[in-house]
Amino acid sequence: MSNPQQLRYSKEHEWLTAAEDGVSTVGITEYAANALGDVVFAQLPEVGDTVTAGETCGELESTKSVSDLYAPVTGEVTETNQDVVDDPSLVNSAPFEGGWLFKVRVAQEPDDLLSADEYTEFSGN
């Protein structure tokens, strides 16, 4: 399992792109997607919602369990991935590409985001 080097990671297993014009893309890691099993439902934050780093902003339901989705940063949601709502299995098949979850205009970034190498060590992968 390879975690893309250009992303940053939370200890709740979300990934975050570097901000482009202040907006970052958020998803869950391949490690988290594999641990969840087959994702069958995604409840994502709505456009215009304010999310807070470390707090619940949605949930993913799999054939195994329901898991909270945590915001890795604080900011305003600018877009959600309708493709994932329509086909939640994208979270499993393409967690770092088409399975992204939402985009957020970053207002504040926590100090504890991890590099790819730090996340790999943290998650044991």
Q: What is the pLDDT of residue 91?
A: 96
Which letter does DSSP use for residue 64 in this model? S
> With bands split at pLDDT 50, 70 and 90, how would you rate the model's confidence at 59?
very high
Q: What is the dihedral of CA 20, 87, 43, 112, to 10 degrees?
A: -40
> With bands split at pLDDT 50, 70 and 90, how would you rate the model's confidence at 72?
very high
> With bands split at pLDDT 50, 70 and 90, how would you rate the model's confidence at 64?
confident
> With bands split at pLDDT 50, 70 and 90, how would you rate the model's confidence at 1?
low
Phi-psi region of 35 (alpha: psi -120 to 50; beta: other; left: phi over 0): alpha
The pLDDT tens digits of the residues spanning 17-36 come to 999 999 999 999 999 999 99
Which residues, 6 or more positions from 54, have their beta carbon under 8 angstroms from its beta carbon? 10, 12, 70, 71, 110
pLDDT at 106 over 70: yes
CA distance 94 to 107: 27
Q: What is the pLDDT of residue 35?
A: 93
Residue 9's nearest CA partner among 124, 112, 103, 106 is 112
The secondary structure of the chain in percent helix, strand, coil, rounded to multiples of 5, reads 20, 35, 45
CA distance 17 to 9: 9
Average pLDDT over residues 50-67: 95
